[in-house]
Amino acid sequence: MNFRGVFAIYKFEMARTQRTLLQTVVAPVISTSLYFVVFGSAIGAHIAEIQGVQYGAFIVPGLIMFTLLIQSISNASFGIFFPKFTGTIYEILSAPVSHLEIIIGYVGAAATKSTLVGLIILITSGIFVPLDIMHPVWMLVFLLLTAVTFSLFGFIIGIWADDFEKLQLVRLLIITPLAFLGGSFYSIDMLPDFWQNVTLFNPVLYLISGFRWSFYEIADIPIAISLGVISFFLASFVIITRWIFQTGYRLKN
């Protein structure tokens, strides 16, 4: 393992955070505050509690997971897309680092940044509502697993995209709607039976449900199934990423 090469990629990607501090850190904090004003105050005035948890506190895990998904995909996809766009990807491919080391560098940096943003949102949320994390270890497990998994997904998107429009396509048209419809701000028990069954086909529901369980021990989906879904996504994205480097898909042409 070329740790020096991995660290060089990781350090370069992390350095971009300092240059885009407003977009990376400040914007999510402002967005979180607005969500609490809109959802916590407006909707919370009509819905006091959900499953025994104050509504403002109930939406915290969903809000963190929503932001984590978006940040993981955005950071990783742009991180690998930009070298493709500028043509410097060939310098990385010809460097004395393996495909695995390239992936660890880019995905590790993206996962680190999105995890930090998630923790910042958690701290910001504590200003608005009292938080009670019943399983902090499991909370970190879900946080890190989701960050790594969807950073891998973002890495794949960054390789697949050949322009900036495609780079934003999956995040805006697929991930964002799925996150809003995956129980981020409500429990699926509040839905009619038909829509409850439809929502079960939304993969984001399983991520949010498992993460919420680590806070309040309440979940729409059993915790074992949530972990199984995250593990399935992680394994699938690892296989796809390996295939990309083996075939040179959109890397060598």
Share of the chain above pLDDT 70, in %: 93
On whether residue 133 sits in a domain, the answer given is yes
Asked if residue 252 belongs to a domain, the reply is no
Look up residue 117 and give its amino acid: V
What's the pLDDT band for 13 if we cut at 50, 70, 90? confident
Section 123-147 average pLDDT:
89
The larger pLDDT score, comparing residue 87 to residue 61, is at 61
Percent of the chain with pLDDT over 90: 35
Residues 144 and 111 sit within 8 Å (Cβ to Cβ) = yes
| Number of domains forming the structure of the chain | 1
Is residue 44 predicted with pLDDT exceeding 70?
no
Is residue 99 scored above 80 in pLDDT? yes
**pLDDT (0 to 100) of residue 243:** 92
Q: How far apart are CA 239 and CA 48, in angstroms?
A: 44
Establish if 45 belongs to a structural domain. Answer: yes
Q: Is the pLDDT of residue 149 over 80?
A: yes
Residue 138 lies in a domain: yes
Give residue 4's pLDDT.
Answer: 85
Binned at pLDDT 50, 70 and 90, residue 169 comes out as: confident
In DSSP terms, which residues pair with 53 in a beta bridge?
50
| Residue 123 falls inside a structural domain | yes
What is the mean predicted confidence (pLDDT) over 205-211?
Answer: 93
Domain hosting residue 185, numbered range: 3-247
Looking at residue 248, its pLDDT comes to: 81
Q: What's the rounded Cα separation, in Å, for the pair 207 and 107?
A: 19
pTM: 0.90
Q: Which two three-digit tokens encode residue 238?
A: 């690892």
Residue 135's alpha-carbon distances to 79, 129, 156, 177, 239, in angstroms, are: 33, 18, 32, 28, 31
**Residue 95 counted as domain residue:** yes
Answer yes or no: is pLDDT of 16 > 90.
no
- Mean of the per-residue pLDDT values of the chain: 86
Higher pLDDT, 34 or 140: 140
Q: Examine residue 159 and state whether it is found in any structural domain, yes or no.
A: yes
Give domain status of residue 116, yes or no: yes
With a cut of 80, say whether residue 17 has pLDDT above it. Answer: no
